[in-house]
Amino acid sequence: MSTKLKNLSSYNPELVPDASHLRFGIVVSEWNIDITHALLNAAVKILQKHGVTEDNIEISHVPGSFELTFGARLFAEREDLDSVICLGCVIRGETPHFDFICQSVSHGITELNLEYDIPVVFGVLTTNNLQQAKDRAGGKYGNKGDEAAVTAIKMAVLNEVK
């Protein structure tokens, strides 16, 4: 998560390899869709900035963050992608639901990283309120979609040289 010291959109472009030969799947949660689509737009822009063509970005939607793991698994199973980016936004409510969803999706994505041969990136905002989410979806702390896309490129290239 971002802090006052770390803006999600700041990175050194010289440390991001060319990604023109890579293919990405992006799974996006429809819950809090204004936020998740702000993450999606940012992620796509960053991928394209580093050479990824539109044809090499495949996007699928799932109802909520809980379903991101399954959506990412479908991409990972295909074996024609170099990385999968999961984008979601879980906002704390009045019940413990928040904790269950956050725990499930973080655990689920970790499991996918262990089980499949491609990196699956955790681009999920987990915030106490809507304002904190806005601050991290193109607001004062940058955009989690930028961070997720940069991570996906770096991890996909790391996977090539293993």
Instruction: Point out which residues bind ligand DLZ (CB under 6 A).
Output: 29, 31-32, 63-67, 88-91, 93, 97, 101
Nearer to ligand DLZ, 85 or 156 (CB): 85
Catalytic residue among 37, 50, 61, 97: 97
Q: What is the DSSP letter of 51?
A: T
Evaluate whether 153 touches 16 at the Cβ level (below 8 Å): yes
Q: What is the DSSP letter of 67?
A: G
Nearer to ligand DLZ, 16 or 86 (CB): 86
CB of 130 to ligand DLZ, least distance (A): 10
Find the residue with minimal CB distance to ligand DLZ: 64
Q: How many other CB atoms are found less than 10 A from the CB of residue 63?
A: 11
Name the phi and psi angles at 81, rounded to 5: -115, 155
CB of 126 to ligand DLZ, least distance (A): 9
Cα separation of 153 and 130, whole Å? Answer: 29
Cα separation of 124 and 72, whole Å? Answer: 13
Q: Is 50 a catalytic residue?
A: no
CB of 91 to ligand DLZ, least distance (A): 4
Nearer to ligand DLZ, 25 or 88 (CB): 88
The catalytic site residues sit at 97
